[in-house]
Structure 1
Amino acid sequence: MIGLTYRQSEVLAAIKEYIARVGFPPTMTELARLIGCSSPNAAADHVKALRRKGYISSATGAARGIAVVDSGNDLDAISVVKSLLEGGDNAKERAVAWLQLQGVEL
């Protein structure tokens, strides 16, 4: 899977948390509220990016059509550590975002 930006990690975490709490995915309007966007279109852009990177799938036209794809967290951890060691772009932000996705409070 392709790495996420810090904001994309926040959006993915919001989707996962909503599903865990409510039992089904949010609509674009609900997701926009969750992530602090003023427009459902902005939330839809984040969903498209997450889908393109392989972290979620979504059903076109379905109000609650978002599904989180199993991400293989071990491989993500390896890429995060490699990025930190190599001093990659946004390495620290990626590491923090990944830790937050794992439920670690910083």
Structure 2
Amino acid sequence: MKGLTEIQKNMCRFIRQYAAENGCAPTRVEIATHFGWKSANAAEAHIKALVKKGALYSKPRCSRALKVLVDV
């Protein structure tokens, strides 16, 4: 697995913490809101990069099906 950027590490931490507190992963909109991005597409782009790096699992067509696969 390639190294993660700081924002990618922060996203993994946020997703893991959110899931622990709420019983499910955050939506793309919730991720974008947390990081102050104006669009859920920004969150989706980061999610795709994390999936490609093997750090995150994302089930297609499921908004709350993210799973962090690495320790950060």
- Kept in 1: contact 2:16–2:67 (CA 8 A): no
Identity of aligned residues (%): 38
Helix, strand or coil at the partner of 1:3: coil
Q: What is the number of equivalent residue pairs in this alignment?
A: 72
Q: Could you tell me which residue of structure 1 aligns to residue 22 of structure 2?
A: 22
- Kept in 2: contact 1:28–1:63 (CA 8 A): yes
Q: Which runs of 4+ in 1 moved over 6 A?
A: none
What are structure 2's unaligned runs of at least 5 residues? none
TM-score normalized with structure 1 length: 0.63
What are structure 1's unaligned runs of at least 5 residues? 74-100, 102-106
Q: In the alignment, residue 51 of structure 1 is paired with which amino acid? A: V
Between structure 1 and structure 2, the one with the greater Rg is 1
Task: Return the alpha-carbon distance in structure 1 between the equivalents of residues 31 and 6 of structure 2.
Answer: 17
CA RMSD after TM alignment? 1.2
RCO comparison, higher one (Cα < 8 Å, 6+): 2
TM-score normalized with structure 2 length: 0.89
1:28-85 deviation per Cα after TM superposition (whole angstroms, max 9, x unaligned)? 111111122110000000100111111111011111121121x2x5xxxxxxxxxxxx
Structure with the largest fraction of helix: 1
Q: Structure 2 matches for 1:14-93, cutoff 5 A?
A: 14-69=14-69, 71=70, 73=71
Residue 17 of structure 1, CA deviation: 1.1
